Amino acid sequence: MPLKTYKDAGGNPIQFMEIDGIRYPYVEGVDQDHVVRVARAAKARDDDVVLITYAKSGTHWTWEIISMLCNGKAETIPTIKQMHMIEAISSDELTSLPSPRVLNTHFRFNDLPEDMRKKKTKLVLVHRNPKDVAVSHYHHHCKLEALYKYNGTWSEWLPLFLEGIVDVNSWFDYVKDWEKAIEEHPDHPIHLMFYEDMKEDLYREVKKLATFLDVSVSDEFCQNVAKLCQFENMKNNKKGLENEFWTNVWADRKPSFYRKGEVGDWKNYFTVAQNEQFDELYKQKMAGSKLKFRFEL
């Protein structure tokens, strides 16, 4: 299988599985090439909902919210989003999921299963500002030792992100690719959300999401969902990682995808020079884009 190793600015190695030029975390003992290719041929159901995110952009958080809305229960979901991730589970596992399926993926539009594009499956797309994504991504690579074998510093790692040598490649290319997909497929139901808007007023965003999903829920229900899905509640209540596989993946043997969940945490990492370099790259890469990102609240 196409396992590749790169080196950061300090010479520290980091590994990825590469399939058709796209990088994925390497999972030992899994034929990922087969799983990803089969995923692209998955069959859609009329009531499917698919959450789309660039890695480290609020996937776990938003998947929980969508699942509660689709289930009609303001209750913590007793599983994790990985068990519903199109490119991470087998075709049998995907088929066995009960309807309505709330799926998730880091695929770009053209990599989505053709059947989902043809049937115009409802898509929820969540974007997050790239500076906070970068910080979260760095910790992700360091903590998931078994997947990436990485232990460099922030300053050594950042050039990898700027070059797009991370999971699902360049953030800039990813968000622009989805912007183009929305423009070219105006009849496909795609609900665009921003992580920062969710942090600012989660109840408001839950209400908008409920309208898009066409689920009949009360304001009180939306308030309860928003409360349950506040960061600290998710961090304390969410289960599903308590097994040998996840324990062995983490460097500290304490599995958790919930670190800080803040907007503006990047200020604790970026030096003045790094921030200026990032801003210049952002200006170049996002030229012509209509997307507007908030880097603080």
Instruction: From residue 1, give the alpha-carbon distance in Å to each of 29, 91, 136, 223.
Output: 11, 19, 27, 46
In angstroms, the CA 264 to CA 145 distance is: 26
Q: Which of 34, 60, 84, 106 is catalytic?
A: 106
What's the N-to-C CA distance of the chain in angstroms?
Answer: 43
Instruction: From residue 192, give the alpha-carbon distance in Å to each of 153, 189, 264, 287.
Output: 33, 10, 21, 20
Ordered DSSP codes for 264-280 = SGGGGT--HHHHHHHHH
Show the tokens assigned to 201.
Answer: 């007023």
Helix (H) / strand (E) element for 50: namely strand 49-53
> Helices in 164-201 by DSSP H: which ranges?
171-184, 195-200
Determine whether 106 is an active site residue.
yes
CB atoms closer than 10 angstroms to residue 99: 10
Catalytic center residues:
106
